[in-house]
Structure formats: C-alpha cells, structure tokens
Amino acid sequence: MNNRAATIGGYVAGFALLFLIWHFASQFLVRSVLFPSPFPVFERAVVLIEDGLLQEAVLASMRRILQGFLLGSALGIPIGLALGSFRPVRLLLEPWTEFFRFIPAVAMITVAVIWFGIGEESKIFLIAYTTVFVVIIATAAGVGAVGKDKIRAAQCLGANRFQLFALVALPATVPYILTGMRLAMANAFVTIVAAELVASNDGLGKMLWDARLFMQVEDIFVALISLGLLGFATDRTFRLLIRAFAGRFNPTM
C-alpha cells in the first residue's frame, strides 16, 4: 500500500513538474501566441468539456481504437499461435508478416479510404492492421520460447499433443501475447490520430485538424494532452491487467 502511495505520489509530482516547466517555458523562453501557457489551455478544456465536445471526440477515438484493437488481437493471437506451432504455417506466413510490418498503417490510409470510405470501417481497418502484425509476431515468438524442459516434463507425465498445446504452450505464451498487445495499443494511438487527421468527421485527430485550420492553438494543446493522458491511462490499465491475470507468468513484468 505504501508502495502504491509512493507510485501515485511520483506520478502526481512528475506531471506537476511537467506543467511547471511548460508554464515557465511559455512565459519566459518562447513567449508566443503559438505556445500558450497551461492555464488558458485548461480553461479551454473546461469549456470544451462543458460543451461536451471533448468527451465526444475522446469517445469517438477510443471506440475506434478498442474495436480495431480487439479485432486485430482476435485475428493475431490464433495466427501467431499457428505460426509458432507449425513449421509449414511459419514458412508460408512469415514472409507476409515480415513484409506487411514494414508498411506502416499511416501509409495504408489512402487505400483504407478508397476501400472503406471515410466512415468507421476505414479507421477500424487501420487500427486492426497496425495491431495484428505486432500481436502475431509477439505470440509466435512466445510459442517458440516455451522451455524445452516444460514440454518434455509434460510428455513424460503423459500429455498428448492437444494437452501439450492447451495446458503448456498456451499458458506459457500468455505473457508474450499480453506484451504484444500492449505494444500494439501504443501503435493504435499513433494510427488513430493519423487516420482521423486525413479523413474523419469526429475524434481527437479531427479536433487537431480543425484547430489547425482555425488557428485555435489552445484546442490543439487540449487534444494533445488528452491523447497523452488517454494513452497513459490505457497503458497503466493494461499493466494492471497483465499483473492481475498473468503476474504468475512473469514476475518481472
């Protein structure tokens, strides 16, 4: 409990320091209308929240992230497991993963818009795209990293092939899967903004884009801070989940 208080205290102090430096930088170093101090930004944030605009943007972006992320993970985990478990599947699919993971989701935006329009589908496609390869690679690596003795021990306790997979390989791979998903979540944040910048009617990316058009510097900062906080909160939640469900698997996480 004490430890937890220290952690939270550290976060609060860390963020406070960040805002303090920002304030001083805007007052004494840069001194430009293009670089507002935190206070007008907070005021603007309050207004946006009162009007319900910020919540709307956050919800729109988060919904897309979650949908695409879950879709990408749901595809990536079984593919990764198959890839790690069966040599023919690996030989067949590895060139794909090695090829597509170098084509960033941002580069796929144009294709996504042509295929799916500027509605929800294109964003969900892009998030799923950016998620799926990271999850596949992490999952396959996890399967490959299952200790030889763990497999052998199960074999001489009488495990058949299905039991080896379900009771040894799969649970041993869970920490790798979760770590892959965590990395993918960070990618999803990058991708959603890019996708919404280019083509969208709502979301934080759209908010950034509009603010740029109308030179509303405070709005830009509100959107940026929202992104940072959302990403931070999501990642923390993920870490807590990893601890709760998989703390046993990897005590160092």
Partner 1 sequence: MALVALEGVGKTFRGRTGAWEAVRDFSLELAEGEFFCLLGTSGCGKTTVLNMLAGFEAPTTGRILLDGKPVRGPGADRGVVFQGHDSLYDWLTALDNIAFGLRLRGMAKAERRAVAQRFLTMVGLTGQGAKHPSELSGGMKQRIQIARALANDPRILLMDEPFGALDAMTRAVLQNELSRIWAETRKTVLFITHDIEEAVALSTRVGVMKRGPGGTLKAVVPVDLPFPRERTSDGFMQTFRQVHALIHEEIHPHE
147 binds partner 1 (CB under 8 A): yes
Judged by CB under 8 A, the number of residues near partner 1 is 23
d(CA 96, CA 78): 15
Kindly tell me the sign of the dihedral angle through the C-alpha atoms of 239, 242, 248, 253: negative
Which string of x and - marks every residue 173-212 that binds partner 1 (by CB under 8 A)?
Answer: -x--------------------------------------
- The terminus-to-terminus CA distance of the chain in angstroms comes to 19
- Alpha-carbon Rg of the chain, whole angstroms? 22
159 binds partner 1 (CB under 8 A): yes
Number of other residues whose CB lies within 10 A of the CB of residue 177? 22
Decide whether 160 or 237 has the Cβ nearer to partner 1: 160
154 binds partner 1 (CB under 8 A): yes
248 binds partner 1 (CB under 8 A): yes
The span of 1-9, 74-82, 101-109, 244-252 binding partner 1 (CB under 8 A) equals 244-252
Kindly tell me the sign of the dihedral angle through the C-alpha atoms of 144, 147, 152, 154: negative
Task: Give me the residues that bind partner 1 (CB under 8 A), please.
Answer: 147, 149-150, 152-160, 163, 167-168, 171-172, 174, 246, 248-251
